[in-house]
Copies of this chain bind each other. A is one copy, B any other.
Amino acid sequence: MPSRPSRPRLEDVAARARVSTASVSLVLRGRPGPSAATREAVLEAARDLGYRADRTASLLARRRTQLLGVTMDVRSSFHAELLEDLQAAADERGYDIVVSPLTRTRDERRAVESLLDFRCEALLLLGPRLTDPELAALAEEHHVVAIGRRAQAAGVDVVRAADDVGVGLAVEHLAGLGHRDIAYVDGPRGPIATVRRQGYRRALKRLGLVDHALVVEGGGDEEAGSAAAHLLHPLQPSRGHDVPPPDRREATGGPSRMPSAVVAFNDRVALGLLDRLRRDGVAVPGDVAVVGYDDSPIARLATVDLTSVSQAPEAMAVAAIEAATQRLDDGRTHAVDVVLEPHLVVRGTTSPPPRDGASTTSGSRGIRLR
């Protein structure tokens, strides 16, 4: 339990070092002025007393708070990753970060308000779901950086990866392997999903595969991916794993051709997809190749080993902090839109399509589906 004698104040250090509080303040913040002798005395006194500055007080006194506010979805591992990098980048520039998690009882508005209460000097919004007008309104009063999605809002800095390009990379990779029937599992409504879907469509067009386009409904999590598996393989028994799958060639209804490859909105969706496909006896990548998006830690697991598109979170983080500090420290006033190039990380869930009529179903299963 905290000892009653409240923690030492600047004044206490000053008294002990036999100098003024002003000197102590300067020394402790490493600012030029005080002589070497004073410095030493102050540092010693501070050490002896175990002094730590009260940020609340210094923030009040200073105009600046040096605080950057970040809103994030606690459940998103991509956000978690970004946060780590944001933290590091902010650190280097002498800023501190306040994170305001979105939860089911705490939407983006509240999260932002909380940040403003802390007097954050800029708001970094991870994958904000606010509408463009809402963002623009916010930006009238505060510095705001939208991270990870496009935003057509005046005054808002944007840092994002070219998602359409990213999906394009995935599609091209698959096409390069020889796939022609490449499906796409859509994401949850929103600007991010829109751009990725566009990327898919455009890539198919470039490759002359538009006829093969197949966008199936999806979502943002494993559940959605799992559900999508049924749309891709509508002939599988819809529940239970105890019924042998019928020969997929005998299919009626559903897509006339089964895709030999699937690009998913993100890794979580890809994961749900993988899991369901494999349970249904579909080999990945033997029967179907799968590509995710985000290159999340889980994709890197040896057991998952998912080919995925990386948004380069470190680069995004650095760019975002940069955007904020340029406004705060360098007086930039026009909005910027930083677009980073995603890159594909090829792993084990993609390989050439099965030879016509033959399945490359994993031999370890000892089964062939057709």
Name A residues whose Cβ lies closer than 8 Å to a Cβ of B. Answer: 1-3, 52-57, 59-60, 65, 74-75, 77, 80, 83-84, 87-88, 91, 96, 98-99, 101, 103-106, 113-114, 116-119, 139-143, 155, 221-223, 226, 237, 240-245, 272, 275-276, 278-281, 297-298, 301-304, 327, 333, 362-367
Contacts and interface: CB of A to CB of B under 8 A. Distances in A.
Given A2-B143, A96-B114, A272 B243 contact: no
Interface of A is mostly: mixed
B74 A88 contact: no
Contact of A243 (B83, B140, B364): B364
A284 to B, nearest CB: 10
A362 B367 CA distance: 13
A237 B364 contact: yes
B87 A101 contact: yes
Contact of A364 (B57, B60, B221, B280): B280
B54 A56 contact: no
B84 A103 contact: yes
A60 B83 CA distance: 29
A119 B302 contact: no
A275 B304 contact: yes
A247 to B, nearest CB: 11
Chain copies in the assembled complex = 2
A240 B84 contact: no
Contact of A116 (B52, B105, B237): B52
Given A333-B1, A364-B244, A226 B302 contact: yes
Contacts of A364: 237, 240-245, 279-281
A104 B2 CA distance: 29
7 contacts: A2-B142, A55-B118, A60-B60, A226-B301, A226-B303, A244-B363, A245-B364
Given A56-B118, A278-B279, A280-B364, 19 more contacts: A1-B140, A2-B142, A3-B141, A54-B119, A56-B56, A57-B60, A74-B83, A74-B84, A80-B101, A87-B103, A98-B98, A223-B302, A242-B364, A245-B364, A272-B301, A278-B278, A281-B365, A365-B365, A365-B367
Contacts of A221: 301
A116 B237 CA distance: 56
Contact of A303 (B56, B106, B117, B272): B272
